[in-house]
Chains A and B, each alone.
Chain A
């Protein structure tokens, strides 16, 4: 901070003033958005405990819901497969785009601008829009979910990979060029081996993320475990829906733990 204070009193007065201004602005934002959204804070907060009790009352899986376990596990497995495969396929494309688009390895600045722009476009189109556009052309199949996740992941991973490659030491690349390595040798022997573990941990992160998003995509495109949840939920079989929620949570936590282990091992 550049401001110099004459006395501690002045410092504290200034600080209190700044704090109250920030607080007033935040409260203003809160009240305005509350009015815009038409949300009643207190009545809604008062309903939360009742909601939780209702939740535990109805969503606890019973013996009856065990009979649904077969189809649920099958769809969960399909969803996991789709989220892994869409991430891996997207990561292959993202790697090519990232090498072409990173500042240190780009063959021409034009590529760089085009790839940046394209990745940002893919990333910012909401997954709901992807699901709807694709659903219309590709009908209700696993492939629709796969494509929706693929496009989103492609946007995210291209950006993450580009930044990873740009963060590498430029001097190593220069050293390789100085001893006469050509472009492909630079990329495949210099850049990729060094970036490999960071890139892999990004891929693992995206798999986790995609498993969560796959539920939403499934809900919208009528595939996978998301569709099954919607189906049970709308036919008031809450115990089966609760079983799905529980299984998704377990699967996500397991995946998180596994990928943390892998990340630690390859670092």
Chain B
């Protein structure tokens, strides 16, 4: 007989698995936190030791407010005429276009030599290293250096800007070329197609959208640089007028007007780039 008072029969309890501590803090997270902490410490140190030239901040910000008011709410032409400023603006845009076009053409041919799937690896490495060095030096320094060699004026600005554009675009273009699949190139090589036909008939058509979008990005950069460079090289463009109005005549009304003109160009550029990107995204 089995009675209730009998000791319970042995049952096999499943052993609960050892609880393992799962941490959300993975290695990348730790590195991320370390980097952010490091940057925060550098920032605090830098802000604490920042040389502020014994400024009275309240006064400085008040005068900034007055200047901004003069700039943005009361723009005027100053001692130059509106026509002169427009002409200078056109010069700036042309400067950007010229350097971008020149840079793009030169950069494409260099990029063919810098792409690992087309050129021998020693050549690609050398070109990439040289371009990295040119890119690392700010555009403005190139322009200043060339303004000594060629004299002040447009030529120095064009050559300096082109130099930096080429270095920037070679990197972008060669990376786009390297994305073309090796199979395509090998198939064409096997069927006896020469080097340049491969480049122009197979690779170029497949990377046109990437090239266009990089070139347009560079155009925007070049426009900003053209303004900055005009101030330094005296290329007679809008940057020069900006520099004269801001640093020699202290005419903030004119600075405001020039900033408005530049904003208008920037808005147009942004709209064009949105259209361009939309167009190519749709087709590809």
The interface of chain A, by Cβ under 8 A from chain B, is 1, 26, 29-30, 32-34, 36-40, 43-44, 47-48, 50-51, 54-55, 59, 78, 81-82, 84-85, 88-89, 120-121, 123-129, 132-143, 146, 196-197, 200, 203, 212-213, 215-216, 219-220, 226, 229, 233, 245, 248-250, 252-253, 256, 262, 265-267
Contacts and interface: CB of A to CB of B under 8 A. Distances in A.
B98 A33 contact: yes
A245 B95 CA distance: 25
Interface stretch (B119-127, B175-183, B187-195, B252-260): B252-260
Contact of A30 (B29, B68, B98, B149): B98
Interface in B214-261: 224, 227-228, 231-232, 235-237, 239, 242-243, 246-247, 250, 252, 255, 258-259
Nearest to B132: A253
Interface in B22-45: 27-29, 31-32, 35-36, 39-40, 42-43, 45
Q: Main SS of chain A's interface residues?
A: helix
A233 to B, nearest CB: 6
Contacts of B138: 212-213, 215-216, 248
Q: For the side of the interface on B, what is the size category?
A: 35 or more
B32 A34 contact: no
B94 A138 contact: no
Given A81-B45, A139-B53, A212-B138, A37 B36 contact: no
Contacts of A212: 138
B206 interface: no
Contact of B46 (A54, A84, A139): A84
B114 interface: no
B268 to A, nearest CB: 11
A142 B146 contact: no
Given A137-B60, A137-B61, 17 more contacts: A33-B93, A37-B94, A54-B149, A81-B49, A84-B46, A129-B242, A138-B55, A139-B53, A139-B55, A143-B52, A146-B50, A213-B138, A216-B140, A229-B144, A252-B136, A253-B132, A266-B29
A86 B88 CA distance: 32
A81 B150 contact: no
Q: Main SS of chain B's interface residues?
A: helix
B35 A39 contact: no
A48 B159 contact: yes
A39 B132 contact: no
A36 B259 contact: no
A40 B136 CA distance: 27
17 contacts: A30-B97, A37-B98, A38-B236, A39-B158, A40-B155, A48-B159, A88-B39, A120-B267, A120-B270, A123-B266, A125-B262, A129-B258, A132-B255, A133-B64, A133-B67, A219-B232, A250-B136
B170 interface: no
Given A39-B155, A129-B259, A196-B32, A82 B141 contact: no
Nearest to A88: B43
A229 B141 contact: yes
Residue from the set A33, A47, A133, A265 with the largest chain B CB neighbour count within 10 Å: A33
Contacts of A89: 43, 47
A266 B149 contact: no
A125 B263 contact: yes
Contact of A253 (B53, B133, B242): B133
Nearest to A216: B140
Nearest to A29: B97
A102 B82 CA distance: 39
A245 B154 contact: no
B255 A133 contact: yes
Contacts of A59: 145
Contacts of B228: 126-128, 216
A201 B36 CA distance: 11
Nearest to A200: B32
Given A40-B155, A129-B242, A196-B32, A143 B95 contact: no
B272 interface: no
A84 B43 contact: yes
Contacts of A84: 39, 42-43, 46
Interface string B182-204: 00000000000000000000000
Given A36-B91, A47-B149, A125 B259 contact: yes
